[in-house]
Chain A
């Protein structure tokens, strides 16, 4: 029972991060029909920027809380600029090209970013500095620490905020309109390119926060961390129904839980044949299963436009 509860907690924490990253995939897919495979690298850049800024500022004697806030701000701004540039430079010129072209470009952008990060930050792991004395809490035999609590709460707040923006504001309406029909949106006076840029920047801001969360949770950041994380978050987006915001959140949390429970019990399930180092296979089982049995994902149903 303790294991079960512990895995649920771990799953929720990890799932919150997946959800934030999955939102970036799904927003871009919803609006452009493009899978932005470079999104995982934006998460990595966010983590690296935040970590570098944090380490530097702590070295200068900036108070921890202030340093944290400034680093988050810097990472978000940096990632927004990066997301904007990726769209502007790599995707916009291919807007009307066959679908394969931007997909390959996305993989190319991803490799470029990884290599750039490697040149800047090196191949080594960077450890996340200790900012505050964090304590752990025991609930029903399972342990959760302050950082994990903060991750879940922050993720929930951010997602609620995003839903408000998308469903209750003029910008959000324009985003949904562009996602559905770019020509009609133009006929309403919407500057489609601007809305697309804003979408990339929003997704990238979420990615920056997610990057910081992951590195805070594991205490580490690394130039290669975006790859697997990005792939899993993409899986989460597909699981929920790519293009659907609620789907991305649901998919993220579910994937976090599946992965965590699977890892917790894989030893028992296979009679000790497979161990918890097989953690990463679950996401891809899920991906394959969804693609085979329900390609539109859990919430990926659409209302057709009537003739």
Chain B
């Protein structure tokens, strides 16, 4: 295990559907979901390290306050990577910067072999980058169906969109029942489903999730995590930020630990789960 944020040579691990999650999926109507193929190029021409995303020495500041102090991380195609850390560590800031909502002070973000510098947030969506933000950000005054249609905004393959919509309702039957309801009237867990389904509607190749379990009852957390590991098993790359470090490391292949703006640990998720430092700091053991 390395303690140095500059270390970085990962072996892209092929996604293993049974990755130690122990949460075998039994989502209704799940079977149709594997038809969801990513937005954009199928055969990715990604770079040297075979990385979908490669972040190097990223620094982000709010005014004068440095929130992210030179982090590096990689995600291989099909990998599920967890980013954990305590409050204020800079996890959300990192995700927002990757999505293009914040501009970095310095550093490089390579996605599928191209620099994301000067690429606006809305353009990154059609490149296959999707973020489910902290607090979900559903459109409260739009119906559930309209929220999902917004997710497909960057696409113009009408019939495919329609069939993806059907798949989302199969994946989250609860949303099908409520599709004409305003999203603001849904429960927190249902809103999280809307946020996830909406992000999936863009057919991302890289899905970033910011604390999908926040504020949810245990049963709902389980359901959301089942969905996450199922999506990962279909080959989508996922960057998962979670307060619930144990759960995140259980579904992930690799993990990064972030503390006050820097990455202090990175390793296989199993190793992190077993590590004493992580146990003490994040797993309450």
| B is a partner of A | yes
Residues of A within 8 A of B (CB): 170, 173-174, 176-177, 180-181, 183-192, 302-307
Q: Which residues of A contact B185 (CB under 8 A)?
A: 303
A189 touches B188 (CB 8 A): no
Partner of B198, one of A173, A188, A191: A188
A303 touches B184 (CB 8 A): yes
B101 touches A183 (CB 8 A): yes
A187 touches B215 (CB 8 A): no
CA distance A101 to B194 in the complex (A): 37
Q: Which residues of B contact A177 (CB under 8 A)?
A: 139, 142, 150
Q: Which residues of B contact A184 (CB under 8 A)?
A: 133, 137-139
Interface residues on B, range: 35 or more
Chain B: minimal CB distance from A45 (Å) = 32
CA distance A180 to B151 in the complex (A): 15
CA distance A183 to B198 in the complex (A): 14
Q: Which residues of B contact A192 (CB under 8 A)?
A: 122
With A176-B142, A306-B191 in contact, is A189–B153 under 8 Å at CB? yes
A189 touches B137 (CB 8 A): no
B140 touches A303 (CB 8 A): yes
Chain A's closest residue to B149 (CB) is: A173
Closest 8 pairs between A and B when the two form their complex, measured CB to CB: A189-B154, A189-B125, A184-B137, A303-B184, A305-B140, A186-B121, A188-B150, A188-B153
> Which residues in window 141-165 of B have CB below 8 A to A?
141-142, 146, 149-151, 153-154
CA distance A307 to B216 in the complex (A): 10
B11 contacts partner chain A, Cβ-Cβ < 8 Å: no
A181 touches B130 (CB 8 A): no
Partner of B125, one of A183, A187, A303, A306: A187
B150 touches A173 (CB 8 A): yes
A180 touches B141 (CB 8 A): yes
Q: Counting chain A CB atoms within 10 Å of each CB, which of B122, B146, B186 scores highest?
A: B122
Q: Which residues of A contact B137 (CB under 8 A)?
A: 181, 183-184, 187
B182 touches A303 (CB 8 A): yes
Chain B: minimal CB distance from A148 (Å) = 36
B187 contacts partner chain A, Cβ-Cβ < 8 Å: yes
B146 touches A173 (CB 8 A): yes
Q: What does the 1/0 interface line of B208-223 toward A look like (CB < 8 Å)?
A: 0000000100000000
CA distance A187 to B151 in the complex (A): 8
With A187-B99, A306-B186 in contact, is A176–B153 under 8 Å at CB? no
Chain A's closest residue to B127 (CB) is: A189
Q: Which residues of A contact B149 (CB under 8 A)?
A: 170, 173
Chain A's closest residue to B140 (CB) is: A305
A190 touches B153 (CB 8 A): yes
Residues of B within 8 A of A (CB): 99-101, 120-123, 125-126, 130-131, 133, 135, 137-142, 146, 149-151, 153-154, 182, 184-188, 191, 198-199, 202, 215
Chain A: minimal CB distance from B156 (Å) = 9
A188 touches B154 (CB 8 A): yes
Chain B: minimal CB distance from A102 (Å) = 21
Partner of A187, one of B101, B142, B184, B186: B101
With A170-B153, A306-B188, A307-B188 in contact, is A187–B138 under 8 Å at CB? no
Q: Which residues of A contact B182 (CB under 8 A)?
A: 303
B141 touches A303 (CB 8 A): yes
CA distance A304 to B185 in the complex (A): 8
Q: Which residues of A contact B130 (CB under 8 A)?
A: 187
Q: Which residues of B contact A189 (CB under 8 A)?
A: 122-123, 125-126, 153-154, 202
Chain A: minimal CB distance from B40 (Å) = 12
Pairs A–B under 8 Å by Cβ, sample size 29 = A170-B149, A173-B142, A174-B153, A176-B139, A176-B141, A180-B142, A181-B137, A181-B139, A183-B137, A184-B133, A184-B138, A186-B101, A186-B120, A187-B125, A187-B137, A188-B125, A188-B153, A188-B202, A189-B125, A189-B126, A189-B202, A190-B153, A191-B122, A192-B122, A303-B141, A305-B138, A305-B184, A307-B188, A307-B215
Q: Which residues of B contact A307 (CB under 8 A)?
A: 135, 188, 215
Chain B: minimal CB distance from A27 (Å) = 15
Q: Which residues of A contact B140 (CB under 8 A)?
A: 180, 303-306
Given contact pairs A188-B125, A188-B151, A189-B126, enumerate 12 new A-B contacts (beta carbons under 8 Å).
Answer: A170-B153, A173-B142, A174-B150, A183-B133, A184-B139, A186-B121, A187-B130, A187-B131, A189-B125, A190-B122, A304-B184, A306-B184
